[in-house]
Amino acid sequence: MADFFSKRFDKNVWVTKHARESMQRRNIDAATLERVIEEGEIKRRDKVNLWVFAHIQGRADNLICAAVDEQAAVVIKTVMVNWELEDEA
């Protein structure tokens, strides 16, 4: 069973074990992750890999970012804090 359904992507969302461990270490709960996925900005790396990121008010460790693989479902590979958006060379 999927972790949640994304209305934004119109797909099921699966959170990997690695992403869950990252969330736990960084004190990011499931509701915050879902908010990032549904409301955050998107930067595509290629056709299937992307980052979804957002500032969450009240957190000192912004920017929160989810590294995502989007194919038949949205798979969250890891979750980061203090992430920096970089332009590609």
pLDDT of residue 88: 62
pLDDT of residue 16: 95
Longest dimension (CA), the chain: 39
Q: What is the DSSP string of the chain?
A: --SEEETTTTEEEEE-HHHHHHHHHTT--HHHHHHHHHHSEEEESSSSEEEEEE--TT-SSPPEEEEEEESSSEEEEEEESS-------
Spatial separation of the C-alpha atoms in residues 76 and 66, rounded to whole Å? 6
pLDDT of residue 49: 95
pLDDT of residue 78: 87
pLDDT of residue 86: 78
> What domains does the chain contain, in order, with CATH numbers?
10-80 (3.30.2310)
Residue 54, φ and ψ in degrees, nearest 5: -160, 150
> pLDDT grade, residue 1 (50/70/90)?
confident
Query: pLDDT at residue 12 above 90?
Result: yes
Per-residue model confidence as pLDDT tens digits over 37-87: 999 999 999 999 999 999 999 988 888 999 999 998 889 898 988 888 877
